[in-house]
């Protein structure tokens, strides 16, 4: 651009309006100021309008000087404005603190607010989650191509083993049926399932939760267990009309009654920082790495025997558990409803967000 000499060097005055556009300086007009420069518009001597991006120290500290006012009046207005801004800022800080207290005091209201926002954003999140899943599937497919022969051999081997197990299972089922008939056993009510997509996932250091695109209108209820084929993911803790939030097993607020399978010891599975551990162990049976951990029916919170994880080690008396499911790998989940009551259900009766 040839207009450079026509634009005067901008004065290096300082002022609070550096980020503001439309400031008249020496007959030219600054249309916008930015990080590394300003867009200055002016007229050449032949009357043609030109614009030029002026960078660097030429605009550093450039101030707003377009209104000529008496010095006293300006300082008074400035003082009032500054006081107002400070007051507004402090009001917002106070509001933030009040909201933190409100979140502790009135969880129903906050849950309702969260559920409404989740409902409103469900279509957007649903659309955004699909490309991410597709890209991930594509990468997985390409990676799978390299090991397709080895995978095939492994699957054939596994299939042979599973056929043997199938024969055993059929035999046990027949035996079970006969024994139940002899004992006049009343079977547990059948579970119902809802399958749905995970559309948002928060696994940060503070909160571990996920959002699914099924809600109250699809039969989702607070307290339902959320599983994949591999095991437990978490439980429903908030229900909107068309979305619901899952409290993941790894969240600080998650407390799951579990049974360690070989010993039948009972314990509570909790998240501590980035690992899962067992607390309040009941029973004296030995616990060793490799033991399976499944849900217990205590307090009717979860249906029994849903696989949760495996004991990964014992560190200084703390029993650590490695979960079967990594939420980052999950695209679809199933919600299991055995028609249980339980702790969360009694909460929801007090204030169900639906």
Say how far apart CA 203 and CA 10 lie, in whole Å.
49
In the set 3, 6, 11, 20, which binds other proteins (CB under 8 A)? 20
Binding segment toward other proteins, per CB under 8 A, in 66-74, 110-118, 281-289, 304-312 = 110-118
Contact 118, 211 (CB under 8 A): yes
204 is an interface residue for other proteins by CB under 8 A: yes
For residue 248, give both structure tokens.
Answer: 């993941």
Which H helix or E strand runs over 312?
strand 307-315
CA-wise closest residue to 197 among 268, 303, 125, 258: 125
Q: Residue 331 Cβ, how far from other proteins at the closest point, in Å?
A: 7
* Near other proteins in 235-294, by CB under 8 A: 245, 252-253, 273-274
Q: Residue 138 Cβ, how far from other proteins at the closest point, in Å?
A: 11
Say how far apart CA 4 and CA 51 lie, in whole Å.
10
- 304 in helix, strand or coil? coil
Question: Which residues, in sequence order, are CB contacts of 314 under 8 Å at separation 6+?
Answer: 287, 289, 320
Q: 37 - beta bridge partners?
A: 55
Say how far apart CA 218 and CA 333 lie, in whole Å.
14
Which H helix or E strand runs over 141?
helix 107-146
For residue 269, give both structure tokens.
Answer: 């599975």
Binding-residue total with other proteins (CB under 8 A): 72
Q: Residue 75 Cβ, how far from other proteins at the closest point, in Å?
A: 19
Q: Residue 322 Cβ, how far from other proteins at the closest point, in Å?
A: 14
In the set 8, 13, 14, 144, which binds other proteins (CB under 8 A)? 14
For residue 131, give both structure tokens.
Answer: 């490309």
Q: Residue 117 Cβ, how far from other proteins at the closest point, in Å?
A: 5
C-alpha angle with apex 334: 328 to 339, nearest 5 degrees? Answer: 135
Nearer of residues 275 and 354 to other proteins, judged by Cβ: 275
Nearer of residues 58 and 354 to other proteins, judged by Cβ: 58
Phi, psi dihedrals of residue 332, rounded to the nearest 5°: -120, 145
Binding segment toward other proteins, per CB under 8 A, in 18-26, 216-224, 303-311, 343-351 = 18-26
Contact 201, 213 (CB under 8 A): no
* Near other proteins in 42-101, by CB under 8 A: 51, 53, 56-57, 59-61, 85, 88-89, 92-93, 95-100
221 is an interface residue for other proteins by CB under 8 A: no
Q: Left if phi > 0, otherwise alpha if psi is -120 to 50, otherwise beta: which for 316? A: left
Q: Residue 220 Cβ, how far from other proteins at the closest point, in Å?
A: 17
335 is an interface residue for other proteins by CB under 8 A: no
230 is an interface residue for other proteins by CB under 8 A: no
In the set 6, 50, 121, 241, which binds other proteins (CB under 8 A)? 121
CA-wise closest residue to 200 among 137, 130, 257: 130
Nearer of residues 111 and 291 to other proteins, judged by Cβ: 111
Q: Residue 96 Cβ, how far from other proteins at the closest point, in Å?
A: 4
Question: Which position has the token pair 């009941």?
Answer: 282
In the set 129, 258, 296, 321, which binds other proteins (CB under 8 A)? 129
32 is an interface residue for other proteins by CB under 8 A: yes
Q: Residue 228 Cβ, how far from other proteins at the closest point, in Å?
A: 13
Binding segment toward other proteins, per CB under 8 A, in 25-33, 221-229, 299-307, 335-343 = 25-33
153 is an interface residue for other proteins by CB under 8 A: no
Contact 234, 249 (CB under 8 A): yes
Say how far apart CA 96 and CA 87 lie, in whole Å.
14
Nearer of residues 130 and 161 to other proteins, judged by Cβ: 130
Q: Residue 194 Cβ, how far from other proteins at the closest point, in Å?
A: 19
Nearer of residues 224 and 250 to other proteins, judged by Cβ: 250
């Amino acid at each position: 651009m040839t207009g450079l000499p026509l634009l005067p060097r901008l004065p290096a005055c300082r002022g609070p309006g550096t980020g503001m556009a439309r400031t008249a300086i020496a007959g030219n007009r600054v249309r916008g100021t930015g990080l590394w420069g300003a867009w200055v518009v002016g007229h050449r001597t032949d009357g043609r309008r030109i614009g030029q991006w002026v960078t660097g120290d030429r605009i550093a500290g450039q101030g707003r000087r377009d209104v000529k006012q008496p010095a006293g009046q300006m300082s008074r207005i400035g003082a009032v404005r500054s006081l107002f801004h400070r007051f507004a800022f402090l009001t917002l800080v106070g509001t933030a603190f009040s909201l933190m207290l409100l979140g502790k005091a009135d969880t129903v209201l906050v849950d309702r607010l969260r559920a409404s926002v989740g409902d409103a954003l469900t279509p957007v999140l649903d659309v955004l989650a699909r490309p991410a899943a597709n890209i991930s599937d594509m990468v997985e497919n390409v990676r799978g191509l390299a090991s397709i022969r080895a995978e095939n051999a492994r699957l054939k081997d596994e299939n042979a083993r599973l056929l043997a197990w199938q024969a055993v299972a059929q035999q046990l089922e027949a035996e079970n049926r006969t024994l139940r008939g002899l004992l006049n056993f009343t079977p547990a009510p059948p579970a119902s399932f809802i399958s749905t997509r995970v559309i948002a996932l928060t696994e940060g250091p503070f909160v571990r939760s996920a959002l699914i695109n099924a809600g109250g209108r699809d039969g989702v209820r607070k307290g339902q267990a959320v599983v994949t084929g591999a095991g437990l993911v978490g439980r429903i803790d908030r229900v909107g009309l068309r979305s619901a939030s899952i409290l993941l097993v790894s969240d600080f607020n998650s407390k799951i009654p579990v049974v360690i399978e070989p010993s039948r010891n009972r314990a509570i599975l909790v998240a501590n920082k980035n690992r899962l551990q067992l607390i309040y162990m009941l029973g004296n049976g030995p616990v060793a790495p490799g033991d399976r951990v499944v849900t217990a029916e205590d307090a009717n919170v979860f249906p029994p025997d849903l696989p949760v994880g495996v004991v990964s080690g014992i560190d200084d008396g703390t029993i650590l558990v490695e979960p079967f499911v990594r939420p980052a790998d999950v695209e679809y989940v199933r919600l299991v409803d055995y028609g249980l009551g339980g702790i969360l259900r009694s909460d929801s009766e007090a204030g169900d967000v639906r």
